[in-house]
Structure 1
Amino acid sequence: MNVHFVVHEAFESPGAYETWVQSRGHQASYSRVYLHEALPENLDDIDLLVVLGGPQGPSTTLEECPHFDAAAECALIARAVAANKAVVGVCLGAQLMGEALGGKCVHSPEAEIGNFPITLTEAGKANAKFADFGDTLEVGHWHNDMPGLTADAKILAASEGCPRQIIEYGKLVYGFQCHMEFTPEVIELLIGASGEDLVKLSQRRFVQQPPTLRANGYTAMNQKLFGFLDALVSDYKATR
């Protein structure tokens, strides 16, 4: 399997997704757009496209962030979906996925930063890729917005602060508003990049501060992510 990552910022690294690639013997390639690396023009050698998070939004312009081209990333996602590739969007990546497929990104009811539980919907419980998630699962969060929905989209999981945590846009196409790829190393990068933001949000009920963020456990959510990815790969190979 050839996995291509679109990375928006150095502090929004692939984390456990990269661990999964290495542990399964897959191959990884990257478009580190913060280093002005190009998005892939040819998808022939890509099996799984993973578009990661970032502080930008789908409406962020090139004038506001010269290294981030939302329209180009939406076009890439749309091409990957049309080519029947496996596609995973994480946070900003999930929001871009929704936009690429016709769903408008909107604000989440609550900002969420830290570890909080998600609850699977009936559609989520019926999806075999999430069979190991249980009814609820504690996962990572770091967001203010959430992906838009298409006519065919299925919400597979929600949280108390955000009703759109995992969305199925197609059998091989999934948006994760939550961050199941968090590791202690990724959390340190995010804390370092957050400046005063965490302090300003300290009164929000779903925003944890650095001591709690550092004390959280991430291994269990990583393992559940690996199981989902293995199932996604199995479904992808069945289409070839």
Structure 2
Amino acid sequence: MRVHFVVHESFETPGVFETWAMIRGHEVTFSRVYLGQELPDSARGIDLLIVMGGPQDPAVTTEECAHFDSRAEQALIASAVQLGKGVVGVCLGAQLIGEALGAPFAHSPEKEIGKFPIYMTDAGKASEMFSHFGHVLEVGHWHNDMPGLTPDAEVIAWSEGCPRQIVAYSGLVYGFQCHMELTPAVVEMLISHSDGDLSRAAEYRFVQSTDEIRASNYAEMNSVLFTFLDKLEHRYRQSDI
């Protein structure tokens, strides 16, 4: 498997996504756009495209953020979808998938930062891809927005603060507004770039304090994400037979 990551900022790392790819022995490549690394011309040389999060939203222009080209990333995502590749978007990445498929992103009803439960919808409970999630799972969050929905999209999971936590756009294309890739090290990087958000934690229903975020255990959600990625790899390989 050739896994390609689009990484928008140094502090929004792939975390456990990269750990999974390395442990499984996949070929891993990166477009670290904050370092000026270019996006692939197309998705032909990729099996699984993983687009990470960032402080931007899909409406941010290159004039506002020179290293973030929303239109180019959407074109790459569209290429991957059209070629039948696996695609996973996280936070901003999930919103970019929706945009690439004609579904504009939206602001989430609540800001969410920390670890809170997500709840599986009927579609999520019925999906083999998510059968190991159970009905409720505590996961990481760090967002203000949420992905748009195409006519064929299914909402797999929701939270009290956001109605679109996981979206299935097709059998190979998924948007995760939540952050199941977080580890203590990744959390520290996010905290170091989130002083403004966390200093006002008490003003928001779903923003935890720095101490609460650091005290959370992320191992269970990491394991659940590993299994999802194994299932996605299997499905992709079956689709290519």
Q: Give the TM-score band, short-chain normalised.
A: over 0.9
- 1:28 partnered with 2:28: yes
**Kept in 1: contact 2:42–2:80 (CA 8 A):** no
How many equivalent residue pairs? 240
| C-alpha displacement of 1:198 | 1.1
> What does residue range 10-159 of structure 1 map to in structure 2 within 5 Å?
10-159=10-159
Pairwise CA distance, 1:38: 0.2
Shift of 1:25: 1.1
Shift of 1:239: 1.2
Does residue 175 (structure 1) correspond to residue 175 (structure 2)? The answer is: yes
Per-residue CA distance 1:67-123 (angstroms, 9 max, x = gap): 000000011100000000000000000000000001110000000000000000000
- Give the Cα–Cα distance (whole angstroms) in 1 for the partners of residues 85 and 161 of structure 2: 31
Aligned residue in 2 for 1:207: 207
Q: Secondary structure, in 3 states, of the residue corresponding to 1:148?
A: coil
2:162 maps to amino acid: C
**Equivalent position of 2:226 in the other structure:** 226
Instruction: Please give the alpha-carbon distance, in whole angstroms, between the structure 2 residues aligned to 1:40 and 1:197.
Output: 33
The normalised TM-score by structure 2 is 0.98
Aligned AA for 1:106?
A
Aligned partners of 2:6 and 2:51 also within 8 Å: yes
SS in 1 for 2:199: helix
User: 1: distance between equivalents of 2:197 and 2:169?
Assistant: 32
Q: Offset at 1:56?
A: 0.1
Kept in 1, the 8 Å contact 2:121–2:157? The answer is yes
Q: Equivalents in 1 of 2:67, 2:181: separation in Å?
A: 23
Q: Which moved more, 1:192-201 or 1:105-114?
A: 192-201
Matched residue of 2:133: which SS? coil
CA contact (8 A) 2:147 2:177 kept: yes
How big is each residue's C-alpha offset from its partner over 1:38-73, in whole Å with a ceiling of 9 and x where there is no partner?
001142321000000000000001111000000000
Stretch of structure 1 that moved more, 199-208 or 121-130: 199-208
* Distance (Å, rounded) in 2 between the aligned partners of 1:239 and 1:144: 35
Query: Could you tell me how far 1:124 is from its partner in structure 2?
Result: 0.4
d(CA) in 1 for partners of 2:148, 2:227: 26
Q: Which amino acid aligns with 1:153?
A: A
- TM-score, normalization: structure 1? 0.99
Q: Which runs of 5+ in 2 are unaligned?
A: none
Aligned-pair identity in percent equals 60
Indicate if the aligned counterparts of 2:44 and 2:80 stay in contact, CA closer than 8 A: no
Deviation at 1:205, TM superposition (A): 1.0
Pairwise CA RMSD: 0.7
Partner amino acid for 2:82? A
CA distance in 2, matches of 1:188, 1:140: 13
Amino acid at match of 1:76: L
CA distance in 2, matches of 1:62, 1:205: 33
Query: In structure 1, how many angstroms separate the alpha carbons of the residues matched to 2:36 and 2:80?
Result: 21
Spell out, residue by residue over 1:181-238, the C-alpha distance to the aligned partner (whole angstroms, 9 max, x if none).
0000000000001122211343201001111111001010000000100000000001
Aligned counterparts of 1:129 and 1:152: Cα–Cα separation in 2: 17
**Cα pair 2:103 2:150 within 8 Å, conserved:** yes
Q: What's the secondary structure of 2:68's corresponding residue?
A: coil
